[in-house]
Structure 1
Amino acid sequence: MYEPIRTKSVHNTMAGTTSSDFPHRSREEELDIQLAGHLAALLAVTDELRALTPSADLDTAAERLIQQVTRLRDGRRPARSSGAAAVHEPDAAAALHRRAHALAGRALVVAASRADTGAAILAAERMDAHSAALAPAPAPAPA
């Protein structure tokens, strides 16, 4: 019914070399790279938020994110955003909080899959903080 394969697969060998000649990363190394990328993106959004609405909480979060990314990148510190790219529009802060919440969620998933408790706790805390920032302010109590 099917014709048998008569030639070797190009995926097993390329130009006469075997696949063992190519460097491969372990699953853990790949997850480290992914987690560092998500946390670095979260740091960039945090820096933009700090430019729009400075707060001690965001400063602390930025420092903790720097520590985690530096750890995951074997001592290489992440690039920092100057905050100049932050848009000063009425809904800009809310959009940044939504983006930060999504990035923290992605980081949490990767941190959980690689069993990185410190990064998972940080990501969960940032998700909570950005959710709280997006929540509507409570109505004033009647007098």
Structure 2
Amino acid sequence: MYEPIRTKSVHSTMAGTASDFPHRTREEELEFQLAGHLAALLAVTDELRAASPSADLDAAAERLAEQVTRLRNGSTPARASGGGDGRLTSLHRRAHALAGRALVVAASRADTAAAILAAERMDAHAAALAEPRELTAAG
């Protein structure tokens, strides 16, 4: 009723056979993910610095850049520049979420320095979101 398969499978399932494409180890994949999350957090931090400069954000950006450089074997991260557009709440929410993702990956790969930095950034952005905003009169 059915014709038997006559060609070899495109999937290499035999033990000991080399595949044609490179694989990353779990550790390499986690390092890659962590570097990406921290680089994204750095970009948002740079946007926040442009919109609302502070010494805390400057220090955080430098620490984030150091960690990304370490994880990328010396390759420095791209840095955002330019003026902020007043979306501080949105930026803090995004930064909080990115820091949370970085924390999960850092904990998974037992990277204490990155985990501490991510947790500190989560706390800072949570505090910024909890601050009462001053109302201004339009007119």
Question: Is residue 78 of structure 1 aligned with residue 77 of structure 2?
Answer: yes
Q: Which one-letter code corresponds to 2:100 in the other structure?
A: G
Measured in 2, the distance between the counterparts of 1:57 and 1:11 equals: 51
Measured in 2, the distance between the counterparts of 1:62 and 1:83 equals: 15
Q: Is the 8 A contact 2:34 2:105 kept in 1?
A: yes
Q: What's the offset of the Cα at 1:24?
A: 1.7
Q: Which one-letter code corresponds to 2:47 in the other structure?
A: E
Question: Is residue 124 of structure 1 aligned with residue 119 of structure 2?
Answer: yes
Q: Which residue of 1 aligns with 2:137?
A: none
Aligned CA RMSD, in angstroms, stands at: 2.2
Measured in 1, the distance between the counterparts of 2:42 and 2:112 equals: 18
Q: What's the offset of the Cα at 1:129?
A: 0.1
TM-score, scaled relative to structure 1 = 0.82
Q: Which residue of 2 aligns with 1:29?
A: 28
CA deviations over 1:19-45 (Å, ceiling 9, x no partner):
434322111111111000000000000
Measured in 1, the distance between the counterparts of 2:119 and 2:4 equals: 52
Question: Is residue 107 of structure 1 aligned with residue 102 of structure 2?
Answer: yes
SS of residue matched to 1:20: coil
Q: Is the 8 A contact 1:50 1:83 kept in 2?
A: no
Question: Is residue 10 of structure 1 aligned with residue 15 of structure 2?
Answer: no
CA deviations over 1:55-113 (Å, ceiling 9, x no partner):
000000000000100000000010000134x323xxx1000000000000000000000
SS of residue matched to 2:48: helix
Q: What's the offset of the Cα at 1:137?
A: 2.8
Percent of aligned pairs with the same amino acid: 79
Measured in 2, the distance between the counterparts of 1:39 and 1:48 equals: 14
Q: How many residues align?
A: 129
Q: Which residue of 1 aligns with 2:39?
A: 40
Specify every segment of 5 or more residues in structure 1 that has no aligned partner in the other structure, as ranges: 139-143
Q: What's the offset of the Cα at 1:6?
A: 5.9
